[in-house]
């Protein structure tokens, strides 16, 4: 029983890190897209994690519909929107992969598999939540919905690849 509690503790910590890594990835892509660092806020101790971007008047959370518009204030050509919403998931996947390899080789194969399963459940819950919000309010909130709105085919492909990557890790 104590071992199970310890493993659950590890998994909760890793899920917290994955959530943070997604928003840290958003922070990195914003910097890459030339948004000044002084206009971006990230608090690593809040949960769920989110970035805040200053739109000239107030701070807009990455979970709000106006976040993309706030970003476009810094990038009027509007070329980086897809990267803004897809790169955080790529970065999180990289952190997940590194965590999986570490846990699989240093701790436990079972625990590494649980990590992937929890990641799938966690991400699935986020995806379903975003769909419900979109269907009820027609607001473009959440990475998956915004990716779909920016490019339906690429948005669906991104989500599919995200899940396929995790399923591949689970199988191997």
Domain ranges of the chain: 2-33+81-171
Does the pLDDT at position 6 exceed 80? no
Express each pLDDT in 107-148 by its tens digit: 888 888 888 888 888 888 888 888 888 888 877 777 888 888
Helix (H, G, I), strand (E, B) or coil at 114: helix
Say how far apart CA 160 and CA 162 lie, in whole Å: 5
Does the pLDDT at position 46 exceed 80? no
CB 127 within 8 A of CB 159: yes
């Amino acid at each position: 029983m104590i071992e199970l509690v310890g493993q659950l503790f590890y998994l909760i910590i890793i899920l917290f890190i994955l959530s943070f890594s997604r928003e840290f990835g958003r922070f990195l892509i914003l910097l890459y897209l030339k948004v000044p660092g002084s206009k971006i806020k990230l608090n690593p101790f809040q949960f769920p994690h989110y970035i805040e971007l200053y739109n000239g008047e107030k701070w807009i959370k990455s979970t709000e519909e106006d976040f993309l518009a706030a970003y476009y204030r810094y990038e009027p050509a509007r070329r980086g929107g897809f990267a803004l919403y897809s790169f955080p998931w790529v970065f999180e996947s990289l952190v997940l992969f590194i965590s999986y390899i570490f846990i699989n080789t240093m701790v436990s194969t079972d625990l590494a598999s649980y990590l992937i399963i929890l990641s799938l459940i966690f991400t699935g819950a986020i995806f379903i939540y975003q769909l419900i919000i979109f269907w009820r309010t027609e607001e473009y909130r959440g990475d998956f919905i915004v990716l779909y709105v920016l490019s339906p085919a690429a948005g669906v492909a991104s989500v599919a690849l995200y899940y396929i990557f995790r399923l591949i890790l689970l199988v191997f």
